[in-house]
Amino acid sequence: MIIVGLDMMGGDFAPLEAVKGAAAFFAENPLSVRMLLIGDKEKIKNVLLMHPLPEELIEIIHAPQVIEMHEHPTKALKEKPDSSIAIGFQLLATSKIEAFISAGNTGAMMVGALFTIKTIDGILRPTIGAYFPRENGSLGLLVDVGLNADCKPENLNQFALLGTIFATHILNIENPKAGLINLGEEEGKGNHLAQATFPLLKENKHLNFVGNIEGRDILLDKADVMVCDGFTGNVVLKLAESIYDLIKRRNIEDEHFERFNFETYGGVPVLGVAKPVIIGHGISSNVAFKNMIKTAVKMIEIDFTGKIKNSFIND
């Protein structure tokens, strides 16, 4: 049976929405997963009175400390060893859980993933991506979206491969197209980073590289995996989030833009670390938690990290 660790204290609505998300998952998948609920035992128990979970499939792991959103990630992990995030990573590192999910402090999650779980051999830096709904109804993946603000060409080359593996096995896109975000389509365009990255992507035999793509192509299907540095990617992501917020405030109903709601997809995995780690938004609701659990389970079922290891061994 798959065992997933869930940070019950992460997010603005903890632990209620995490419990409700777990309940929604169990309603759809009654016997497939066992969950370790990590957090303040009494608070979790109080919520379970209102939203019970199958007792035989859960275990509460008491974590009396919480890393707040405003705290410095490295300092907080060091000073709060009994926090839900720190204990979650300890459980993952010792194989007591197979994946760890949290909507808590993003920086602490990244530090824990990098220094407790570590990267897969051969990967220079891990990356995080974001889903982008395209006009034709499919999903694209943008990498990186904030983890690596400053990058080298070798980093972008690896991000493209990591994104391709994710798009193939998690998004179920056959032979996904990879494109380099640039300010023009022609080879030779862009800044030094883009110019130096283009030939690496072009020569990478593991990629279906389609060349440069522009900002106007992000919501089209020109590329399934869209590659850029984390500074650029984060600006694009926050702009997309603001568009969704704007149409909600203006009461605009549009099927395409409704798909900009991040809760539809849950959180995003850290690509390139040795075990599945999924980071959710701080305002995640039960729908987001349910979908994060679904993604984690799929990653475990198909041995997603094993597929990454094989790709980099054979590179």
Confidence of residue 209 (pLDDT cuts 50, 70, 90): very high
Q: pTM for the full model?
A: 0.91
Across the chain, mean pLDDT equals 94
pLDDT at 314 over 70: no
pLDDT tens per residue across span 7-62: 999 988 899 999 999 999 999 988 789 999 999 999 999 999 999 999 999 999 99
pLDDT at 264: 76
Confidence of residue 270 (pLDDT cuts 50, 70, 90): very high
Contacts of 141 (CB under 8 A, 6+ apart): 129, 130, 131, 132, 163, 166, 167, 171, 224, 225, 226
CATH 3.10.50.40 fits 1-123+272-303, yes or no: no
Mapped onto helix, strand or coil, the DSSP state of residue 225 is strand
pLDDT tens per residue across span 128-150: 999 999 989 999 999 999 889 99
pLDDT at 313: 75
pLDDT at 315: 59
- Quickly tell me which residue has 């494109």 as its tokens: 179
Q: Which of 131, 140, 130 is nearest to 221 (CA)?
A: 140
pLDDT tens per residue across span 57-90: 999 999 999 999 999 999 999 999 999 999 999 9
Question: Domain segments of the chain: what residues?
Answer: 1-123+272-303, 126-261
Domains 1-123+272-303 and 126-261 share a fold: yes
pLDDT at 179 over 70: yes
Q: Which of 79, 228, 55, 99 is nearest to 155 (CA)?
A: 228
Q: Which CATH superfamily is domain 126-261 in?
A: Isopropylmalate Dehydrogenase (3.40.718.10)
pLDDT at 229 over 80: yes
Mean pLDDT of 93-113: 95
* Gap between the Cα atoms of 160 and 47, Å rounded: 42
Dihedral class, residue 112 (left if φ above 0, else alpha if ψ from -120 to 50, else beta): alpha
